[in-house]
A and B are shown apart, each in its own frame.
Chain A
Amino acid sequence: MKLLEDFSLGLFFWQTLLFVLLLLLLKKYAWKPILNAVNEREEGIKNALDSAENAKREMENLQADNEKLLQEARLEREAMLKEARELKNKMIEDAKGEASAQASKIIEQAQAAIASEKQAAISDLKAQVANLSVEIAEKVVKDELSNKDKQLKLVETMLGEAKLN
């Protein structure tokens, strides 16, 4: 009962009035701006984090794409190099074959030419030798035939020789 007696209605009145006033003032001038600002900031942070996450993901995608492209390029290069190498080898191979064929053909031709030249030379030589022999023989005969004895002797010798043959 003493508590109730001490209960001060005046203080109750002032407390209620002042508190409600304070509540309304703070609501308008403090809590609304504070909470709004804090919410905005949090939204901002959230958005920033989200966009950072997105950017990161995009970067990752890009990087993956790059990697893929690089891989493809590498494979292509490899293939191209391989092809080139094969082509080179084939060309060398072909060139070699052609060259050797050409060479053997040339050699053959050369050999044939040499052979025909040789033949020609031999026949020429033969003709010349025959001519020379005839001329010599002519001169010898002319000379020999001027001397009768000698002619006879020669005939004899020759005959003798012919017999030996």
Chain B
Amino acid sequence: MQRFLSHYYLSDMHRKITVKTITLLLLLVSFTSFASEGEGKGDKKSEIKEYIQHHLKDSYDFSLFSYTTDEGEHKYIGFPLPVILWDGGLKVFSSSKFHHGEELAEVDGNFYKLYHNHIYKTDANGTINYDEDHKPTNAKPFDMSITKSVVMIILTGLLMFFLFRSLGRSYGKNGGIAKGVGRFFEPIVLYIRDDIAIPNIGEKKYMKYMPFLLTVFFFIWFLNIFGLTPLGVNVTGNLAVTASLAILTFLLTNFTGTKDYWKHIFDPLGNSMPWYAKVVLYIILIPIEVLGIFIKPFSLLIRLYANMQAGHIVLMSLIGLMFIFKSVIGSPLSFGLAFAISLIEILVALLQAYIFTMLSALYFGFAAETHEHAEEHEGEIQHL
């Protein structure tokens, strides 16, 4: 949240003031409404909280929306997705068997229960055993299900593949000029090449990293944007996804690292002082540098995850506020605020993709550096 806000705070001072004003107004309204309506809304609040919590997590079925009937029955509109478990053998079944966690799934004589968005192996009665911290102690089979996020990843992948392949093909057909939908993305491809890859990696080696940078940028951007649609997906706000991306950056950085890159880590001072002075300093310096190798991609994974997660929480909370207020002033206000935040989220979607790509390129730049331009990177390291 803090981080998310700080990003656009930096981007525009005016907006900062506007948001502050609106936040203040909102606080005033919310105080008054809470004062007048008291505890009666507690139920709804926890329901909204649960709903948001549920939304932020991955799910085993692709639910578009759900509602509660007058009889208190939950209805889900959507379609089930395949559950794939490794539990002494591959077990594949439809997530509709869980009935949204209401029923046990029986497969090959084993019983599985969907409990708080995790699949546990249970006995025929679906008993969940808890430890002292109220955590389930049941066995968790290795879960490779095609979840909602995986479906979105596949769809985004397909979209990107067809979009950019058609762009790539259109050049040949039109004598070097882009045509079709893909041409809207050509300036972005060029931007990534000219303003992200080349300045950070250098003219000589940037081509090696371009496929990764382009793929990661469009992948994150598209998924961020899909996260803003009413499909209700939150792929990039998922640690597993951002961790995977960051680990790829990490691997690519360190496997393409030049001699100078490793020298920079294990012998950062070079010939600037005698060896006995260096030994003392290196006891501190080398661990820091080695730690830096891991901290850099770690910051990538946390930044993207936290920003997207925070954006979704803020947006959904604001939408939820409408149902809590149920007043002439409060609801339009929270609608307006949710609308404003949505607009900012569109910017953040792009910004986070840009930052991830930019920083990846910067790390690749460190890895690809050769001694000639080692100096110019020095300032950027400190800047980070």
Indicate whether A81 reaches chain B with its CB closer than 8 angstroms. no
**Given A26-B215, A37-B168, A9 and B161 touching (CB < 8 A)?**
no
Q: What's the Cα separation between A65 and B210 when bound, in Å? A: 50
Choice from B117, B144, B167 contacting A14 with Cβ under 8 Å: B144
Please give the distance in Å from B166's CB to the nearest CB on chain A.
Answer: 9
Main secondary structure of the interface of B (DSSP, over half): helix
With both chains docked as a complex, state the minimum distance between the C-beta of B343 and any C-beta of chain A, in angstroms: 28
Taking residues whose C-beta sits less than 8 angstroms from the other chain, chain B's interface range is 35 or more
Q: Give the complex CA separation of A108 and B241 in angstroms.
A: 132
Docked complex Cα distance between A14 and B207 (Å): 27
Residues of chain B in range 163-203 having any CB-CB distance to chain A below 8 Å: 164-165, 167-169, 171-172, 176-177, 186, 189-190, 193
B239 located at the interface, meaning its Cβ lies under 8 Å from any Cβ of chain A in the complex: yes
The answer to whether A23 and B212 have CB atoms under 8 Å apart is yes
Q: A41 to B193: give the CA distance in the assembly, Å.
A: 15
Which chain A positions have C-beta within 8 A of B168? 29-34, 37
Residues in A whose Cβ lies below 8 Å from that of B143: 8-10
Contact status A22-B58, CB under 8 Å: no
User: Do B164 and A26 have beta carbons less than 8 Å apart?
Assistant: yes
Q: Are A3 and B157 in contact (CB under 8 A)?
A: no
Residues of A within 8 A of B241 (CB): 11-12, 15
A16-B244, A18-B157, A19-B248 given; A11·B238 CB < 8 A:
yes
How distant is B183 from chain A, measured CB to nearest CB, in Å? 11
Binds A, one of B63-71, B145-153, B319-327, B371-379: B145-153
A8 CB contacts on chain B under 8 angstroms: 58, 143, 147, 238, 240
Question: Which of these, A16, A21, A30, A32, contacts B248 with CB under 8 Å?
Answer: A16
- Other-chain contact of B176, A15, A22, A26, A37 (Cβ < 8 Å): A37
Is A40 positioned at the interface, with any CB of B under 8 Å from its CB?
Answer: yes
Minimum C-beta distance from B163 to chain A (A): 8
Q: Lowest 10 CB-CB distances: which A-B pairs, in order?
A: A37-B171, A30-B164, A33-B168, A27-B211, A12-B240, A11-B240, A15-B244, A41-B176, A10-B144, A10-B143
